Amino acid sequence: MSILDRIIKLLGNADQKQLTDYLGLKKTAFTDWKNGKSNSYRKYLIEISKYFNVSIDYLVYGTEQNTVLTDSEKELLNLFKALSEVDKIRVIERAETLVEIAAQKAAEESAQNKAAAPKHRTMELFDLPASAGTGVYLSSNYSAPISVLSTPESEQADYAVRISGDSMQPDFCDGDIALVESCEEVEVGEIGIFILDGESFIKELGDGCLISHNAKYSDIQLREYDTVTCRGRVLGKAQLT
C-alpha cells in the first residue's frame, strides 16, 4: 500500500474538499493525486498526518511511530531535517521504493518457503495382523484416515496397513506402516498383502510359497487346495506428518 493509498483509506467517505481546504489547495488537487497527475501530497505529509491524527511513519510505512527512537533512527531523522524540501521528497520516494522492494522480496521468500514445505496426503489406514486375521482390515469399518508425507511411493499407493509382528524384519518392523498399491497379483520377488485361507499376511511372493524376511520364520508353502488372494503390492514404508 502506497502513501496515497493510506491517505485515501484515512479519508474514507469524507468530503475530500475538507482535506484540500485544510492544506490550502484546490479541490482538484486530490483528483490529480488519484489520477497520477501530481504527487504534491508528498510536500504536505506533516500537515496530512496532523489532519488525520496519525504519524508520518504510518503514512509512509503503514506502521505507527515508536515512542522511543533508536540512535540510528535519530541520526536518520536529523539528516532528513537538514535536507531541502525537494530532497526530502526524493528521500521519501526512494524510501517508499525500498519498502515496496522489501515487501515483494518477503512475499517471494514466503512463496518459496511454502513451496519447499513438505507436502502430505491422506489415505486409509488398516490394521494388519502379522500372521493371522480374517482380511476384514480392508473393510472401511476397520479403517481410519491417516496423513503421510507425500513421496513417489505414497502418491502411488491406494491405502496403508499397520504391520504387527517381526516376520518381515529388517524391511518391515512391528508398528511400521506399509504403503500398498491395490492389485490382484504381484511378481515373484515382490512383497505383497495376501489373504491365505482367511488369514492375512505381508510376505514376499516366492515360487510356490510366501517368504518371510526374518530367518526365524519358515516360508509358507502354498498347496493346491489353499485359497490365496493378493490384495496389493507393498511399495514401501509411510512417513507420518
Q: How many CA atoms lie within 13 A of 69 on its CB side?
A: 10
pLDDT higher than 50, residue 136: no
pLDDT higher than 80, residue 1: no
State residue 171's pLDDT score: 92
Tens of pLDDT, residue by residue over 61-82, are 777 655 566 788 778 888 888 8
Q: How confident is the model at residue 133 (pLDDT cuts 50, 70, 90)?
A: very low
Phi, psi of 234 (to 5 degrees): -80, 125
**Average pLDDT over every residue of 165-184:** 91
**Average pLDDT over every residue of 203-229:** 91
Query: Which of 108, 105, 104 lies closest to 116, judged by CA?
Result: 108
Structural domains in the chain, CATH included, are 3-116 (no CATH), 120-237 (2.10.109.10)
Query: Which one is predicted more confidently, 116 or 192?
Result: 192
Query: Which of 68, 29, 32 lies closest to 47, judged by CA?
Result: 29
pLDDT higher than 80, residue 134: no
Cα-to-chain-centroid distance, residue 180 = 26
State residue 135's pLDDT score: 44
Please enumerate, as own/partner, the contacts of 208-213 that have beta carbons within 8 Å and a separation of 24 or more: 212/167, 212/168, 213/167, 213/168, 213/169, 213/170, 213/171, 213/172
**Average pLDDT over every residue of 8-12:** 89
Q: Average pLDDT, whole number, for the chain?
A: 84
Query: Which one is predicted more confidently, 77 or 178?
Result: 178
Q: How confident is the model at residue 87 (pLDDT cuts 50, 70, 90)?
A: confident
User: Which region among 120-129, 142-151, 198-207 has the lowest average model confidence (pLDDT)?
Assistant: 120-129
Phi, psi of 128 (to 5 degrees): -125, 110
Query: Which one is predicted more confidently, 108 or 192?
Result: 192
Cα-to-chain-centroid distance, residue 209 = 46
State residue 185's pLDDT score: 92
User: Which region among 50-59, 125-134, 210-219 has the lowest average model confidence (pLDDT)?
Assistant: 125-134
State residue 131's pLDDT score: 44
State residue 132's pLDDT score: 36
The region, left, alpha or beta by phi > 0 then psi within -120 to 50, assigned to residue 237 is beta
Q: Determine contact, residues 56/65, Cβ cutoff 8 Å.
A: yes
User: Is this model's pTM higher than 0.85 or not?
Assistant: no
